[in-house]
Amino acid sequence: MPRRKGTVGRFWTKYNRMKRLLVLLIIILISSFLLAVWWVGTTQAPTNTAAVKRFVITKGASSSQIGNNLGEAGLVKSSLVFKFYVQLTGNSRRIQAGEYRIPQNLSLNRLISFLLQGPTELWVTIPEGIRREEIADKFVESLELSGTEATAFRNDFLQRSAAKEGYLFPDTYLFPRDASASAVVSLLTSTFDKKVDAKMRQDLDQKDIILSQAVIVASLLERETITDQERPVVAGILIKRWRAGWPLQVDASVQYALASAKCGQTVDCNWWPRPLTGDDLEINSPYNTYKFPGLPPAPIASPGISAINGVVYYEESPYWFYLHDEDGQIHYAETLDQHNANITRYLNR
């Protein structure tokens, strides 16, 4: 009898184990079926309409942010599934920033394939304080131009912007890949006209400064200063020197003259050579503000709105001189002796 009880016990133990495994298998199968149904449902096209929606991916957007924005735009059924899918397939870093025109009837797989083809319009960022040639190079790089196409664009851009140095407003723009140089120059200059509004121009008039003069000073200021706080003070110093007939003694204008003489329309030139030598300061150019008093004949770069504001709303002060130390901290001086002392103290000369 004990032996028979042990046999029955083992039978029921094995039976219960098989029963639990069977229940677990059924649960797994049902869960897998429901997951498959859910997956198919969430990866299908959100709508049957083929209407196209404009969709913009900002620079630096994560796959999670892109998925959330796609969900809000009604271009995917599940933002979570989009994020999971692009990470699973290794495509999260292959989606470019820019503007897309996306049909609304794309399944998730087709949508990702569509995004991987690249945007119809690309982001182009123009930083403050660079000259026309550098702006042209930024567009060639950002619009992914190469070969003869890049050369043609660059040459056309430089020709059309020849008299517009300083007025090609630095900002972040969206442009189609096939944007013409004419369209680019037109948008950059029209953006300048919008940013430098009627109020600012009126305030300049009241200070007896015309816009072209303000842009020249702002272009110098953009290259000469670091912070928004110091710009109105330095602008006041430059304007005071200009009106007193002093040489402005701005290194950046000499750099502009040197590069213009050396580089021409060369690609990847050293457009802002430093340090300047004694011979550099003797260059015979109207942009040499050490040799010739007054303003240069034209801007040396495209200033941003902070530099332009610094000129429009410049601050009067007792200072005539300024310098930045090796840490970028600015130091002002009222007299040449004080300035020379600052040079010795902060620049170790």
pLDDT digits (tens, 9 = 90+) for 230-273: 999 999 999 999 999 999 999 999 999 999 998 876 667 889 99
Closest CA to 102 of 89, 111, 113: 111
pLDDT above 60 (res 216): yes
pLDDT above 60 (res 2): no
Q: Judging by beta carbons within 10 Å of its beta carbon (0-12, 13-18, 19+), is residue 346 exposed, middle or buried? A: middle
DSSP percent split of the chain into helix, strand, coil, nearest 5 = 55, 10, 40
Mean pLDDT confidence for 160-175: 96
pLDDT above 50 (res 1): no
70 with 180, same domain: the answer is no
* DSSP assignment string, 38-78: HHHHHHS-S-S---EEEEEE-TT--HHHHHHHHHHTTS-S-
In a domain, 21, yes or no: no
164 with 222, same domain: the answer is no
Higher local confidence (pLDDT), 122 or 348 = 122
Q: Look at the chain and report how many structural domains it folds into.
A: 3
C-alpha to C-alpha distance for 26 and 173, rounded to whole angstroms: 56
Share of the chain above pLDDT 70, in %: 90
In a domain, 18, yes or no: no
pLDDT above 80 (res 337): yes
Mean pLDDT confidence for 166-184: 95
Mean pLDDT confidence for 98-106: 92
Which residue shows structure tokens 């890949």? 177
Mean pLDDT confidence for 267-292: 91
Instruction: Of 98-112, 130-144, 152-166, 185-199, give the lowest mean pLDDT range.
Output: 98-112
Question: In this structure, what DSSP letter does residue 91 have?
Answer: -
**What pLDDT is stored for residue 268 in this prediction?**
76
Range of the domain at 184: 132-193
Q: Mutual orientation of helices 211-224 and 231-244 as an angle, nearest 10°?
A: 120
- Kindly indicate the confidence band of residue 122, based on its pLDDT and cuts at 50, 70 and 90: very high
Assess contact for 166 and 303: CB atoms under 8 A: yes
C-alpha to C-alpha distance for 49 and 40, rounded to whole angstroms: 19
pLDDT above 70 (res 39): no
215 with 302, same domain: the answer is yes
- Kindly indicate the confidence band of residue 153, based on its pLDDT and cuts at 50, 70 and 90: very high
In a domain, 38, yes or no: no
**What pLDDT is stored for residue 44 in this prediction?**
80
Which residue shows structure tokens 């599940």? 78
- Kindly indicate the confidence band of residue 18, based on its pLDDT and cuts at 50, 70 and 90: confident
205 with 302, same domain: the answer is yes
**What pLDDT is stored for residue 265 in this prediction?**
64
Q: Judging by beta carbons within 10 Å of its beta carbon (0-12, 13-18, 19+), is residue 29 exposed, middle or buried? A: exposed
Non-local CB neighbours of 54 within 8 Å, separated by 6+ positions: 99, 100, 101
Mean pLDDT confidence for 62-74: 91
The highest-confidence range among 215-224, 257-266, 323-332, by mean pLDDT, is 215-224
203 with 182, same domain: the answer is no
Assess contact for 83 and 67: CB atoms under 8 A: yes
- Kindly indicate the confidence band of residue 200, based on its pLDDT and cuts at 50, 70 and 90: very high
In a domain, 345, yes or no: no
| Three-state DSSP class for residue 102 | strand
Strand partners, 54: 101
- 319-324 long-range contacts (CB < 8 A, ≥24 apart) are 319/233, 319/236, 319/237, 320/237, 320/240, 320/241, 320/246, 321/237, 322/230, 322/233, 322/234, 322/237, 323/347, 324/226
Higher local confidence (pLDDT), 72 or 41 = 72
pLDDT above 80 (res 329): yes
Q: Judging by beta carbons within 10 Å of its beta carbon (0-12, 13-18, 19+), is residue 1 exposed, middle or buried? A: exposed
**What pLDDT is stored for residue 15 in this prediction?**
64
Q: Which of 61, 96, 119 is the last residue of a domain?
A: 119
pLDDT, averaged across the chain: 89
206 with 303, same domain: the answer is yes
Instruction: Of 35-39, 77-81, 92-96, 304-308, give the lowest mean pLDDT range.
Output: 35-39
Q: What is the CATH number of the domain that holds 110?
A: 3.30.1490.480
Assess contact for 268 and 226: CB atoms under 8 A: no
